[in-house]
Amino acid sequence: MSRMCSLKPLEASIERLSVQNTAIEVGTYYAGWTRWLAEHFNQVITLQTPHSNKLNHIEDTAEGEFSENLPWKNIMRSRIPEQYHSKYDFNFLAEQVSDLSNVLTVLQASPPGVQLPWTWDLCTIDISRDPSEHLRQYKYWRHSANPGGSLLMGIYKPTDYDSFALTQTQFLDSITQPWSWTDDNYIIVEF
């Protein structure tokens, strides 16, 4: 299993949907949620950044978005083969999605520099602790939501050493659609 996070936020999101045609997953990591999404949606488009400074590396390094020594690393070490316990490896991602016929994996930072042609019923974004990054992602992806769609966002509490220009409260106050917490780390925005 290559899943880093619980499926509970996804399950809470899907309960709200009347249509399950297209899911977009921003920050697929090693496709842990992708397989579950592929079982519940007609098509899944998953984006993974190719930029090393944004990837989550399992080895102990300060490089990457969540690569400092956090508990998730031990969880992932127990779930994926030892050969992938270093820097992020796109070969392992390819292995994880190779048998999923309704999944398109795109190596692309988000938000993309081009307007993508897909609209979505569920969009998941789980890539950062930075509220400014959350706002940037929200502003881009909200424009391609289908009516009745849900945006699931990982909103992690900043650590003691984080210093961000925007607070979590400022980000949440900037959301113009109805939203609610699903647990301590995820919100669902309804369109």
**In this predicted model, which residue has the larger pLDDT, 13 or 158?**
13
Q: Which residue's entry shows tokens 């949907």?
A: 17
DSSP string, 132-170: HHHHHHHHHHGGGEEEEEEEEEE-PPPPTT---SS-HHH
Q: How many separate domains does the chain show?
A: 1
User: Which tens digit of pLDDT belongs to each residue from 88-117?
Assistant: 788 888 998 999 999 999 999 999 998 899
Q: Are 48 and 39 in contact (CB under 8 A)?
A: no
Instruction: Classify residue 41: in a domain, yes or no.
Output: yes
Instruction: Classify residue 114: in a domain, yes or no.
Output: yes
What is the mean predicted confidence (pLDDT) over 11-31? 92
Q: What is the CATH number of the domain that holds 105?
A: 3.40.50.150
Instruction: Classify residue 33: in a domain, yes or no.
Output: yes
Instruction: Classify residue 71: in a domain, yes or no.
Output: yes
Instruction: Classify residue 2: in a domain, yes or no.
Output: no
Q: Are 72 and 137 in contact (CB under 8 A)?
A: no
Instruction: Classify residue 139: in a domain, yes or no.
Output: yes
118: containing domain? 8-190
Instruction: Classify residue 93: in a domain, yes or no.
Output: yes
**In this predicted model, which residue has the larger pLDDT, 165 or 70?**
165
Instruction: Classify residue 50: in a domain, yes or no.
Output: yes
Q: Is the pTM of this model over 0.75?
A: yes
Of the listed ranges 2-6, 56-60, 151-155, the least confidently predicted one is: 2-6
* pLDDT of residue 65 exceeding 70: no
Q: How far apart are CA 158 and CA 155, in angstroms?
A: 9
What is the mean predicted confidence (pLDDT) over 176-190? 95
